[in-house]
């Protein structure tokens, strides 16, 4: 057996045990989720209302409207404020079955989105267990009904800001475009220990929303074409994320 077997990858840190255990207890408490969600909703509304906003392009909604229904794509950890922004793209959002999933689902639904509880995860053998297949089919059906869907492009607890195959496969099967979106704030708190460097937008700052170029995937796309689309999406999301932070006056 390799001497590295069982070791975590460099740079990956697990949440301390003393924090994981109470987190599980709270998440399993039926009274905790609604209270936490209510606080989160109030905080997001406050943050949105007290930030000065820049949108690029200025007519982003007019640009996006003819492309709907679409697959809105964001990076993990950069999506916290997105539900509170009235960008005109409502529909279904894929939310993992993690401990905080119930809270996140309640927040999404409070802002008019429908939660699809599923996660593909990094381990292929756990996709069915975590609802990944059903989640994919639910999003496909939502797009077929004319609803847009929101999905993080990178795989949960995988390599941050590396687009996965699932989102481009969804674009291929649905025939709908992927719309890259980036949101950034000048005042923010970054959870540096988190795998995705989760970023909490803070009130009383300057925020930016940037809409990227749509990514289309042909219905007959082979593996090579799917990988090319994945790389294109990844590059565009990185570009607009950097641009969004630049527009706030406080680059990442």
Q: Above 70 in pLDDT, residue 21?
A: no
Residue 1 falls within a domain, yes or no? no
For the record, the structure tokens of 178 come out as 């992927």
For the record, the structure tokens of 4 come out as 């590295």
Q: Write down the mean pLDDT value for the chain.
A: 85
* End-to-end Cα spacing for the chain: 41
Residue 69 near residue 147 (C-beta atoms within 8 A): yes
- Residue 8 pLDDT class (50, 70, 90 cuts): very low
Is the bond into 242 cis (omega within 30 degrees of 0)?
Answer: no
Residue 3 falls within a domain, yes or no? no
CATH value at residue 48: 3.40.1130
Chain centre distance of CA 30: 25
Beta bridge partners of 115: 93
Residue 219 falls within a domain, yes or no? yes
- Looking at residue 163, the DSSP 8-state letter turns out to be B
For the record, the structure tokens of 216 come out as 């289309």
pLDDT for 155: 87
Residue 7 falls within a domain, yes or no? no
Q: Above 70 in pLDDT, residue 137?
A: yes
Residue 8 falls within a domain, yes or no? no
Task: State the pTM of this model.
Answer: 0.83
Look up the domain containing 25 and give its range: 17-248
Residue 195 falls within a domain, yes or no? yes
Q: Above 60 in pLDDT, residue 6?
A: no
Residue 2 falls within a domain, yes or no? no
Residue 122 falls within a domain, yes or no? yes
Q: What is the total count of domains within the chain?
A: 1
For the record, the structure tokens of 15 come out as 């949440």
Q: Above 90 in pLDDT, residue 70?
A: yes
């Amino acid at each position: 057996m390799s001497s590295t077997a069982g070791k975590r990858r460099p740079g990956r840190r697990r949440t301390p045990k003393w924090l994981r255990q109470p987190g599980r207890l709270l998440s399993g408490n039926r009274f905790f989720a609604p209270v936490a969600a209510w606080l989160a909703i109030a905080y997001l509304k406050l943050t949105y209302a007290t930030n000065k906003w820049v949108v690029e392009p200025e007519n982003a909604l007019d640009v996006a409207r003819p492309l709907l229904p679409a697959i809105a794509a964001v990076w993990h950890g950069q999506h916290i404020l997105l539900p509170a922004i009235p960008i005109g793209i409502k529909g279904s959002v894929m939310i993992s079955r993690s401990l905080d999933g119930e809270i996140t689902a309640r927040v999404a639904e409070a802002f008019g989105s429908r939660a699809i509880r599923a996660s593909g995860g990094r381990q292929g053998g756990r996709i069915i267990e975590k609802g990944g297949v059903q989640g994919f089919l639910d999003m496909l059906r939502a797009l077929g009904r004319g609803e847009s869907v929101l999905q993080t492009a990178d795989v949960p607890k995988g390599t941050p800001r590396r687009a996965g195959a699932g989102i481009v496969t969804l674009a291929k099967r649905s025939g709908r475009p992927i719309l890259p979106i980036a949101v950034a704030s000048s005042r923010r708190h970054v959870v540096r220990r988190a795998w995705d460097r989760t970023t909490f937008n803070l009130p009383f700052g300057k925020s930016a929303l940037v809409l990227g170029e749509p990514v289309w995937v042909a219905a007959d796309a082979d593996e090579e074409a799917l990988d090319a689309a994945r790389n294109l999406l990844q590059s565009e999301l990185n570009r607009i994320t950097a641009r969004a932070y630049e527009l706030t006056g406080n680059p990442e």
